[in-house]
Amino acid sequence: LYLHNKEGNNPTSYTAYSILNRMMINGRTYTSASQVEAATLPDDSYTFTTQNRPWYGMYLSAAEVNLYLAEFAMLNNQESQAKTYYDKALAFSVQSYNELAKDNQVAYYSNVQGCFGYDPNEGSIDLKDGEIATMMSNDKYAFTGTAAEKLEKIYLQELIHFTLYPNEVYVTARRSGYPSYNSTILPRKSYANVPASSIPRRFPTGAITDDDLAADVKKAAYAAQGLTVTSSGMYNSVLATERLWPDKNAPEWGSGRK
């Protein structure tokens, strides 16, 4: 995201990250006149929206429900039923994100004043007729392949649908093992700085102090679950290997479902 000053000189600031997560909590806010000025193009012909605006989100959407139903159907070897749920889920997901883009006035949506049109090569991002059908004809999205590949596609679409909800992405990746390193659909990439083997499976317990009246109770509870008391940060061998009960039989990160 580049922010130019009003005179059109070099960018006054640059961020390499999205403010989406912050917007999910605070909405779109402009706290100073300089932010409003930065949102105005040099020739004043287009001004990006500078009105404070609440965030519109979605919870337990129709797409999410149908993806779960598709997953359950595949796990029960009901591929025909799974396809019905899967196809509905992807259409619902695209339609939902289209509505969110409109309601949240995402840049380049047609109802957002001044966010596109000043460059002849630009256009709106609105959902167009036939785009969902075109997407579903792509083998990466179509409910085709082996049973294992179909199940993988369901999990991948769950991850994609949860783009706005990082916690759900984490939980889905942890319980499913996808994206998989060996995938032919969407292979997982290995990052040397944060290898999969160091990604935590749970939160730290926090330290138990001597003046804690429930210290003995806490120690006994953690011991009963096989958990080590730790407060040494998120990236360590304890948190990467010790699991809570819902995670006991889940696959390793990136290994896919066995």
Same domain? For 82 and 175 the reply is yes
Residue-number span of the structural domain to which 87 is assigned: 57-197+254-258
Percent of the chain with pLDDT over 70: 74
- 226/220 Cα distance (integer angstroms): 10
Same domain? For 162 and 187 the reply is yes
| Max avg pLDDT among 20-24, 137-141, 223-227, 241-245 | 137-141
In this structure, is residue 140 part of a structural domain?
Answer: yes
User: Which tokens hold the place of 255?
Assistant: 């290994």
Same domain? For 227 and 154 the reply is no
pLDDT tens string 32-74? 555 555 454 545 444 455 566 777 888 899 999 999 999 999 9
Q: According to the 3-state scheme, what is the secondary structure of 55-83?
A: CCCCCCCHHHHHHHHHHHHHHCCCHHHHH
- How would residue 30 be classed by pLDDT, with cut points 50, 70 and 90? low
Q: If you average pLDDT over residues 240-246, what whole number do you get?
A: 93
- The answer to whether 48 and 115 are in contact (CB under 8 A) is yes
C-alpha dist (Å) from residue 126 to 109, 161, 165, 226: 6, 18, 22, 51
Alpha helices in the chain (DSSP H): 20-26, 33-38, 62-75, 79-103, 131-136, 147-161, 166-176, 215-224, 237-241
- How would residue 5 be classed by pLDDT, with cut points 50, 70 and 90? very low
pLDDT tens string 172-208? 999 999 999 999 999 999 888 888 888 999 999 999 9
Please calculate the CA angle 56-59-61 and round it to the nearest 5 degrees.
Answer: 105
- 143/160 Cα distance (integer angstroms): 16
- How would residue 3 be classed by pLDDT, with cut points 50, 70 and 90? very low
Indicate if the pLDDT at residue 6 is higher than 50.
Answer: no
Same domain? For 6 and 118 the reply is no
Name the least confident of 10-24, 74-88, 198-212, 216-230.
10-24
Same domain? For 190 and 215 the reply is no
Same domain? For 68 and 111 the reply is yes
Selected residue with higher pLDDT from 198 and 28? 198
Which residues, including other chains, have CB under 8 Å from residue 195's CB and lie 6 or more apart?
A: none
